[in-house]
Chains A and B, each alone.
Chain A
Amino acid sequence: MDLTYTEDEEDFRHRLRAWLAEVLPKLPDRPHPADWPGRRAYDCGWQRMLHEAGYAGLHWPEDAGGRGATPTQHLIFLEETERAGAPYVGAGFVGLLHAGPTIAAEGTSEQRARWLPPILRGDEVWCQGFSEPDAGSDLASLRTRAVRDGDEYVISGSKIWTSHAEIADWCELLVRTAPVNADTPKHRGITWLAMPMDAPGVTVRPLRTLAGTAEFAEVFLDEVRVPVGHRVGAENDGWRVTMVTLSFERGTAFVGEVVACRRVLEALARTARANGRWDDAVLRRRLGRLAAECAALWRLTQWNVSEAQRTGGVPGVGGSVFKLRFSQVRQELYDAAAEVLGPDALDAGQEWVADRLSSLSYTIAAGTSQIQRNIVAERILGLPKGR
Chain B
Amino acid sequence: MDFQLTDDQRALRTGMRELLARRFPRTRLRAVVDGAAGWGDGDAARGDGGTARGGELDRALWRELGAAGLFALRVPESSGGVGLGLPEVVLAFEEAGRALLPGPLVATELAAGLSGSLAAGAAQGETVVTALDEGGAPVEHLASADVVLALGPTAVEVIPAKEVARSAQPMRSIDPATPLHRSTPTRTRLDRVEQAAQAGQAAQAAQAVQAVQADQTGQADQTGQADQTGQAGPGRSGLAVRLRREAALLTAAQQLGSASRTVELAVDHARHRTQFGRPIGAFQAVQHLCAQMLVRAESARSVVYAAAVTEDPGDIAAAKLLADEAAVHNARDCLQVHGGMGFTWEADVHLHLKRAWVRAGQWQSGAAAEEELAAGLVSTVETCL
Q: Is B62 an interface residue (CB 8 A)?
A: no
**Contact residues in A for B41 (Cβ distance below 8 Å):** none
Known contacts A273-B378, A299-B303, A383-B267; is-contact A1 B6 (Cβ 8 Å): yes
Contact between B287 and A377 (Cβ–Cβ < 8 Å)? yes
Contact between A303 and B3 (Cβ–Cβ < 8 Å)? yes
Contact between B305 and A299 (Cβ–Cβ < 8 Å)? yes
CB contacts under 8 Å to B, within A278-322, are 278, 281, 284-289, 291-300, 302-303, 305-307, 309-310, 318, 321
Contact between B295 and A325 (Cβ–Cβ < 8 Å)? yes
Q: Which of B3, B270, B288, B298 is in CB contact (< 8 Å) with A306? A: B3
Residue of B nearest to A328 (CB): B295
Q: Which of A295, A318, A383 is in CB contact (< 8 Å) with B306? A: A295
Contact between A380 and B374 (Cβ–Cβ < 8 Å)? no
Q: Which of A297, A310, A376, A385 is in CB contact (< 8 Å) with B294? A: A376
Nearest Cβ in chain A — how far from B5, in angstroms? 6
Contact between B385 and A1 (Cβ–Cβ < 8 Å)? no
Q: Is A240 an interface residue (CB 8 A)?
A: no
Question: At the interface with chain B, which of A39-47, A165-173, A230-238, A262-270?
Answer: A262-270
A309 to B3, CA, bound (A): 10
A303 to B3, CA, bound (A): 6
A260 to B125, CA, bound (A): 47
Q: Is B219 an interface residue (CB 8 A)?
A: no
Contact between B288 and A295 (Cβ–Cβ < 8 Å)? no
Known contacts A284-B371, A285-B367, A318-B298; is-contact A295 B282 (Cβ 8 Å): no
Q: Is B376 an interface residue (CB 8 A)?
A: yes
A side interface size, CB within 8 A: 61
Known contacts A289-B373, A295-B318, A383-B271; is-contact A1 B278 (Cβ 8 Å): no
Contact between B385 and A387 (Cβ–Cβ < 8 Å)? no
B side interface size, CB within 8 A: 56
Contact between A381 and B263 (Cβ–Cβ < 8 Å)? yes
Residue of B nearest to A385 (CB): B282
Q: Is A373 an interface residue (CB 8 A)?
A: yes
A292 to B299, CA, bound (A): 10
Contact between A373 and B288 (Cβ–Cβ < 8 Å)? yes
Q: Is A2 an interface residue (CB 8 A)?
A: yes
Q: Which of A285, A291, A321, A385 is in CB contact (< 8 Å) with B318? A: A291
Q: Is A347 an interface residue (CB 8 A)?
A: no
A307 to B2, CA, bound (A): 8
Q: Is B167 an interface residue (CB 8 A)?
A: no
Query: A356-387, CB under 8 A of B: which get 1 and which 0?
Result: 00000000000000101110111011111111
A-B CB contacts (within 8 Å), total count: 184
Contact between A1 and B305 (Cβ–Cβ < 8 Å)? yes
Q: Is B36 an interface residue (CB 8 A)?
A: no
CB contacts under 8 Å to A, within B350-385, are 367, 369-378, 383, 385
A268 to B6, CA, bound (A): 38
Q: Is A198 an interface residue (CB 8 A)?
A: no
Contact between A325 and B299 (Cβ–Cβ < 8 Å)? yes
Contact between A285 and B370 (Cβ–Cβ < 8 Å)? yes
Question: At the interface with chain B, which of A3-11, A22-30, A112-120, A185-193?
Answer: A3-11
Contact between B291 and A296 (Cβ–Cβ < 8 Å)? no
**Contact residues in A for B299 (Cβ distance below 8 Å):** 293, 296-297, 300, 321, 325
Q: Is A324 an interface residue (CB 8 A)?
A: yes
Question: At the interface with chain A, which of B92-100, B105-113, B243-251, B307-315?
Answer: B307-315
Q: Is A203 an interface residue (CB 8 A)?
A: no
A269 to B377, CA, bound (A): 6
**Contact residues in B for A378 (Cβ distance below 8 Å):** 287
Nearest Cβ in chain A — how far from B338, in angstroms? 15
Give the most central of B299, B301, B306: most A CB within 10 Å.
B299
Residue of A nearest to B288 (CB): A373
Contact between A387 and B282 (Cβ–Cβ < 8 Å)? yes
**Contact residues in B for A325 (Cβ distance below 8 Å):** 295, 299
A385 to B271, CA, bound (A): 11
Contact between A292 and B317 (Cβ–Cβ < 8 Å)? yes
Q: Point out residues on A near B: beta carbons under 8 Å.
A: 1-6, 9, 72, 258-259, 262, 265-266, 268-270, 273, 278, 281, 284-289, 291-300, 302-303, 305-307, 309-310, 318, 321, 324-325, 370, 372-374, 376-378, 380-387
Q: Point out residues on B near A: beta carbons under 8 Å.
A: 1-6, 9, 87, 263, 267, 270-271, 278-279, 281-284, 286-288, 290-292, 294-295, 298-303, 305-306, 308-310, 314-315, 317-318, 321-322, 367, 369-378, 383, 385
28 contacts between A and B (CB under 8 A): A1-B308, A3-B3, A259-B385, A262-B383, A262-B385, A266-B378, A268-B377, A269-B374, A288-B371, A291-B318, A292-B303, A293-B299, A296-B300, A296-B322, A299-B303, A300-B298, A300-B302, A303-B302, A305-B3, A321-B299, A372-B291, A380-B294, A381-B287, A381-B291, A383-B279, A383-B282, A383-B290, A384-B282
